[in-house]
Every structure is written in C-alpha cells, then in structure tokens.
Amino acid sequence: MRRKVKNTHTVPPDAKYGSETISRFINAIMWDGKKSLARSLVYGALEVIKKQDAALDPIAVFDTAIANVSPNVEVRSRRVGGANYQVPTEVRPARRRLLAFKWIIDAARAGKGKAMEEKLAAVLIEAAKGEGPAIRKRDDVHRMAEANRAFAHLAW
C-alpha cells in the first residue's frame, strides 16, 4: 500500500532577492526561531561575496554552490534477513536541496575565528568553484554509494 502524498509547504520568496531557495536557506540556518538574525547572516554573506569580487553575482554564486553540493545518490540502511545493507538510492530533489543546505551550513559553522557571514561567504564561494568541505562531504556520500553498488538490487 502506498503512502499518502504529503502536501509540500510553500515558502514565500525572500523580500530582498525574490528567491524561494534563499528563503528556504534562511529557514535552514535559523536557530531558536530567530529569523531576523538568520536573514541578516545570509544577506550579509551575499554582500561579502559581492564585495570580494564585484564581477560575481551573489545569487548566481549561491545557486551554483547549491547545485554543486547537491548529491545525486546516497546510501540508506536496509535490513534483509538479519543483516543490514547500505543500499544506494537516488535522492529526491527536495532532500537533495536540504542536504546541500545542511552541508554548507555545517561547513560554515565548523570554521573558527571569523564572523559567520564571512565563513558562510567563503564556503559558498568554495562550493561554487567545486572545492571545500561541503563538496568533500558530497564526494564521500557518492563514494559510499559507489562502494555499495553491489546491493543496489535490494532497493525498494
């Protein structure tokens, strides 16, 4: 029996750039309901990107970074006959975006010694170039999926 289809939560686009993706990213970065702080962090990071290189469009850098970090496959645990197998599965678009957000935010929070805006801007620029800790995380997930390709027939 199939699951019920869940209604997806629609997020209004952010006020400054009119992007739904940035609005979702602000929600992902928010802690304890402090949305105005999260909004100022994200907008500040986009301003830092613009200041570092005036030729760069911060929205394009952001979108490229999200696209580069998004994983295509991941492994999920599946129990078959008393043994757990790591089964590679394709990632749905909403989860793909969520994982990209999570890995970028975790990489920015892991950095020490600078303001969060600067760390977030640095991680976004690195991810847009195809390098940095967020890209490394995506590559690790892809490597795990490739290593467990033998169990792909167990996918449900």
| % of the chain with per-residue pLDDT over 70 | 99
Q: What is the pLDDT of residues 51-69, one digit of tens each?
A: 988 788 999 999 999 999 9
Q: Are 118 and 111 in contact (CB under 8 A)?
A: no
Check pLDDT > 90 for residue 85.
no
DSSP the chain: -PPPPPPPPP-PPPTTT--HHHHHHHHHH--TT-HHHHHHHHHHHHHHHHHH-TTS-HHHHHHHHHHHH--SEEEEEEEETTEEEEEEEEPPHHHHHHHHHHHHHHHHHH--SS-HHHHHHHHHHHHHHT-SHHHHHHHHHHHHHHHTGGGGGG--
pTM score above 0.85:
yes
- What integer pLDDT is reported at residue 80 of this predicted model? 84
Structural domains of the chain sorted by starting position, each given as residue range(s) with its CATH number in brackets: 20-154 (1.10.455.10)
